[in-house]
Amino acid sequence: MKNLSTILATLVLVFAFMNSASAEDWKVSATAKKKLNPYELSKKNISSGKKVYQTNCKSCHGDPTKANMLPLVPAPTDLGSQNFLVQSDGEIYHKIKTGKGAMPTFENTLNDESKWMVIAYLRSFDKNKKKAVVAKAVVNPEVIDVKIELNVDADNKKLRAQLTGLKKDGKRVGLEGIEMSFLVKRTFGQLDISGEEAYTNANGELLIQFPTDLPGDREGQVDLLVKLTDEDNYGPVEEKRVLSIAVPTNPKNPLDERAMWGTRANAPIWIIASYVLGVIGIWSVIFLVLFQVFQLSKMRVKS
């Protein structure tokens, strides 16, 4: 009898486990699969999708196509792989919305537009769809010695970068439609000041407004790094510069104020007062004792 109940209990446990495992299957209805991305696969949408991806998805899924996802079980899919991208927009949308297991639901954390932008970004890795995007983009001539030339208008806080390359016939030409990142070094990491659409124009130029309220060091200096956002185009091309166009700051040294951690004269009054009183108290006791001893020795001399 005892054996039977043990077996029954085990069976119940096993069934419960199997049930929960099968309930984890990702079921996407046929109607949900048919949903289409209402936003077009434009450069702008792809780049805003990239931003959403980097803040919300990259921590687990890694970089699309690089398969450097977090080692979870089951593993977060490489969302840039062709295997994954055979799924329809609607199917991907449904999965982002509902989540499963370690994959969080983004039903309320991301608005609809952001979800579709991420899908547009992921689609940009789709070999079948990418052709369409590239065809719309500008085709630059084949060049070597690609470089960024930076002009700074410190008075108006304007930065002008020009991206040029050397053609085979020795002519230097501007490169059009290339995305650039303007990064300002901060204490922790880098601040991207390039804005939404940082693509070079027909002359290879790009104008960026430096933020008017960005604090720099005591002299208002900041370290600027300008580089190509996508190294696939021309490899790593970058230009570094120290600019004196930020707002000068005079950081207060916390040690200069009267505080618990202050040294000597900067300690709080009550600490100094109790210390001084303590010292006076101890020395008075010592003097009192010495005085009494002295009195004692005087008494012995008398007797």
Q: Which residues bind ligand HEC (CB under 6 A)?
A: 56-57, 59-61, 72, 74, 76-77, 79, 84, 92, 95-96, 100-104, 106, 110, 118
Q: Name the minimum Å distance from CB 145 to ligand HEC.
A: 38
In sequence order, which residues have a C-beta less than 8 Å from that of residue 218 and are 6 or more positions away?
Answer: 248, 249, 250, 251
> CA 136, CA 200: separation in Å to the nearest integer?
15
Number of CB atoms found within 10 A of residue 1's CB: 5
Shorter beta-carbon distance to ligand HEC: residue 57 or 180: 57
Nearest to 57 by CA among 92, 24, 106: 106
Shorter beta-carbon distance to ligand HEC: residue 46 or 161: 46
Shorter beta-carbon distance to ligand HEC: residue 71 or 251: 71
Q: Name the minimum Å distance from CB 102 to ligand HEC.
A: 4
Shorter beta-carbon distance to ligand HEC: residue 109 or 244: 109
Shorter beta-carbon distance to ligand HEC: residue 91 or 238: 91
CA angle, corner 193, sides to 227 and 80, nearest 5? 60
For residue 69, give Cα distances in angstroms to 26, 56, 74, 211.
Answer: 20, 13, 11, 34
Q: Name the minimum Å distance from CB 129 to ligand HEC.
A: 16
Whether 184 contacts 191, CB under 8 Å: yes
Q: Name the minimum Å distance from CB 106 to ligand HEC.
A: 5
Adjacent-strand bridge partners of 180:
228
Q: Name the minimum Å distance from CB 118 to ligand HEC.
A: 5
Q: Name the minimum Å distance from CB 14 to ligand HEC.
A: 21
Shorter beta-carbon distance to ligand HEC: residue 96 or 159: 96
Q: Name the minimum Å distance from CB 70 to ligand HEC.
A: 7
Own/partner contacts of 234-240, CB < 8 Å, gap of 24 or more, are 234/143, 234/146, 234/165, 234/175, 234/178, 235/146, 237/146, 237/147, 237/148, 237/163, 238/148, 239/147, 239/148, 239/149, 239/150, 239/161
Shorter beta-carbon distance to ligand HEC: residue 118 or 178: 118
Radius of gyration of the chain from its Cα atoms, rounded to whole angstroms: 34
